[in-house]
A and B are shown apart, each in its own frame.
Chain A
Amino acid sequence: MSERDNRTVLVCCGPGCLSNHSLDVYEELKARISKTDIKVDVKTTIKATGCQGLCEKGPMLRIEPDDIFYTCVKVSDVPEIVEKTLLNRQVVERLLYHEPSRNKKVLSPKETRFYGKQMKLALRNVGEIDPFSIEDYIFRGGYKALEKVLSEFSPDEVISEIEKSGLRGRGGAGFPTGRKWRQCARMKDSPRYVICNGDEGDPGAFMDRCIMEGDPHSVIEGMAIGAYAVGSHEGFMYIRDEYFLAIRNMLHAIEQARERGFLGKNILGSDFDFDVQIVRGGGAFVCGESTALMASIEGKVGEPRAKYIRSVEKGLWGKPTVLNNVETWANIPVIINRGAEWFGSIGTEKSKGTKVFSLVGKVKNTGLIEVPMGMTLRDIIFDIGGGIAEGRKFKAVQTGGPSGGCIPESLIDIPVDFDSLDRVGSMMGSGGMIVMDDRTCMVDVARYYLKFLSEESCGKCVPCREGIRRMLEILNDICEGRGRPDDLETLAELGETVKEASLCGLGKSAPNPVLTTLRYFKGEYLAHVNDKTCPAGVCKNLTVYYIDEALCKGCGLCRKSCPSGAIEGQPRQPFAIDESKCIKCGSCMDACRFGAVKTRGRA
């Protein structure tokens, strides 16, 4: 049987698709195929893969080598897929993806803007392989890089290669990975440790999770290469305990790698020993901070320490330690296999390679994407993301997780790289990207993130613990109509102190959502404070919903959607909202097709 005769059905079992019952689809497909004993000349393999990216349209399913992909697949669709596509090579039209830019259904992922504009390096295998199968990983070139390094490279040459590639840490700070390794390798102390930071905790972010779930071996291979380079024999993967699948898949992968001799003593016949163990994190956001993470591994309270003496010198148990995040490690084998020069040719001058983002919020195509550094926010949101959902207007995009900044429309043509995002007051962070539309109140957004951070600050240092708490108090007051004229000044001043005087990265970046919204959306703050109005109609105390009689056609949709029975009216006559009953949920506004439901200030 030739390669062409083999057919593979890849069922996405990433977090988004799983929660939409993709595992049931997978089981059903398997059962059907084994039952159908079909007289076809193809052997069909069904694989449950990691995240295929387009989470909005999950569960997703791909058929290779035919290059067909189906979206929103339900268990009830399976008989038809087997009958038509697998047996008779016909396409099930209604399951195809509708490409908005061309307004037609397309067969292959390559024909979509969502996939067409992406470039997958860290995600190279995610969604393509069965994460439980080391054979799948090896078949796609896995562990070649480790083999190459052990047989052809000295540790120093590995570091030089990574330095030359220009790779910067994908966890947030963007520190040059090669330089970090070099500093650690120079230390005289031993033992040395390598750590993988899998404590992804940003709301709405699932980049690292998907790599660990969908391609665990790439992380193991990256760590083994790093360990060889810096002279370490022991590695730790710190994975938050909520990531059940990631831990399960990673444990399995580590076992397999040991069996095959990619981990353990005398790896691949060399004299290099290395092994990895998993440490499960208890779910504190701050434990994603490198020194807090190390304290947690040591069994101490997960609090950061001042990093004037860096972890490469005194890290885990006071020994030289290299800590990189999941995505950084996953990039290492690619750089070794394809060369530093090739990797360095991707991206911008100071930010090389690609970056994985979880694109969420009010975009049409939410999901997991990987793009070359330097792509503009506009391309990401409007091409890959397909624009704003429900035809609404773009307002802002928040990058970098809860302590990133909100970037307004006037700046969405900036290239996405470490330095550009930094300049506009935001940051790359680990790759969260939350898109907001015109129904978002920016003061409320700042308040939301500060609330999150007030609960997740470790509380060790005064500016972060007390500063965030007081800034949150002010924002609560502003959103509830008690804002004072000098509040904005106090916010900015406290923001500066928290940013400058806090102990760790969490505090140093915590004021970003407030400071950037103050910078780019000051008018909205002033409306809240001075006019007691929430222009977006979100802050309930500052919002009154009403129906514009001139626009209302009297269709009654608003009344049907109202959960509190606050809307009355006769058909074809303008309807009206009873303010005393209105709970300001916005359902009527969403339901109205004529834009007749509006908001105004309380005054």
Chain B
Amino acid sequence: MEIIIDGKKCEAQYGEYVLNVARRNGIQIPALCHYDALPGQATCRLCIVEVEEGGRKKVVTSCVFPVTGEMQVFTNSEKIQRMRKNIIRLLSARAPNNEFIKKLRQEYGLLPETRFSGDDKENCILCGLCVRACDETGISAISTVNRGIEKKVSTPFDEASEACIGCGACAFVCPTGAIKMLDENGIRHLWNKDFELVRCEKCGEYFATREHIEYMKKKYGEDKCCSFCEKCRKRIAGEKMAASYRK
């Protein structure tokens, strides 16, 4: 089926989310809590757009709004711009020094926030992507804790979590660089826990935590896991492929 986004006809499939259709067609909608490999969070609300269906206009979050029929989408109407700016303002009041938020603020022509004061050290916008990523890997070591303005992301009771394998998926998907993961001297520090890092058997670089490798072995079987880092794995795969062509 076809939908119209900002006047442009776009091909879409039934059930596909508006954000994905827009991006595929080169129409940029800002979003912080969106990650292609994970289901939509709909928490940062930056991807709000106006949708007109059957003569009625409404504000929806494009990352989870499915295409189900004819519709017109306005990603940058005056109303959307106004509200998006307010959301960015709220984010920059929360995390005034975060580089990603600063950049966003400048893009939308907003001045540094003066009415509200925020925590200079705050970087987390509570989008929940880290929690989602941790859930999807099957670990569920972190979760959102408390509610309302007290909400935060943490391990149970803020203690080093037994479940955490130090894979770093949380830090990897974080859109604002809020999760501190530090690798030094063969030790990874993450979520109040220290993990021993394992060296790649080929190049000798540290590449994963012992717990992570154990987990993968348990999940996918001993033979399906290797002890090489990502770079070496790629190189080995490439060499294999090249060898097969040579034959």
Contact = CB atoms under 8 A, between A and B. Distances in A.
Contacts of A462: 43-45, 87, 90-91, 125-126
Nearest to A455: B148
B43 A503 contact: yes
Interface in B12-67: 40, 42-45, 48, 59-61, 64-66
Contacts of B147: 284, 286, 455-459
B59 A454 contact: no
B203 interface: no
B106 interface: no
A470 B151 contact: no
Interface stretch (A492-500, A578-586, A591-599): A492-500
Interface of B: 40, 42-45, 48, 59-61, 64-66, 79, 82-83, 86-87, 90-91, 93-94, 115-116, 125-126, 128, 143-144, 146-151
Contacts, number: 106
Interface in A382-431: none
A494 B61 contact: no
Interface stretch (A30-38, A304-312, A553-561): A304-312
B83 A490 contact: no
Contacts of B79: 500
Interface string A458-479: 1111110111111001100000
A501 B144 CA distance: 21
A284 B150 CA distance: 14
Nearest to A457: B148
Nearest to A477: B115
B129 to A, nearest CB: 12
Contacts of B40: 306
A459 B87 contact: no
A284 B147 CA distance: 9
Contact of B86 (A305, A473, A497): A497
Contact of A308 (B59, B64, B115, B151): B64
Interface in A175-189: none
A305 B42 CA distance: 8
Contacts of A501: 45, 48, 59, 83, 86-87
A305 B65 CA distance: 12
Contacts of A484: 115
B66 A309 contact: yes
A309 B151 CA distance: 26
B148 A458 contact: yes
Contacts of B42: 305-306, 461, 503
16 contacts: A306-B61, A306-B64, A306-B65, A455-B148, A455-B149, A458-B147, A459-B144, A459-B148, A462-B125, A463-B45, A465-B126, A465-B149, A484-B115, A496-B83, A496-B86, A501-B86
A455 B149 CA distance: 6
A455 B60 CA distance: 25
A308 B148 contact: no
A138 interface: no
A503 B148 CA distance: 14
Nearest to B127: A462
Contact of A466 (B65, B82, B91): B91
A173 interface: no
A551 interface: no
A465 B126 CA distance: 10
B163 to A, nearest CB: 16
B166 to A, nearest CB: 23
A494 B149 CA distance: 16
A466 B64 contact: no
A499 to B, nearest CB: 10
B123 to A, nearest CB: 14
Interface in A258-312: 284, 286, 301, 303, 305-306, 308-309
Interface string A440-457: 000000000000011111
A331 B61 CA distance: 35
B61 A459 contact: no
A493 B90 CA distance: 12
A501 B66 CA distance: 17
Contacts of A496: 83, 86
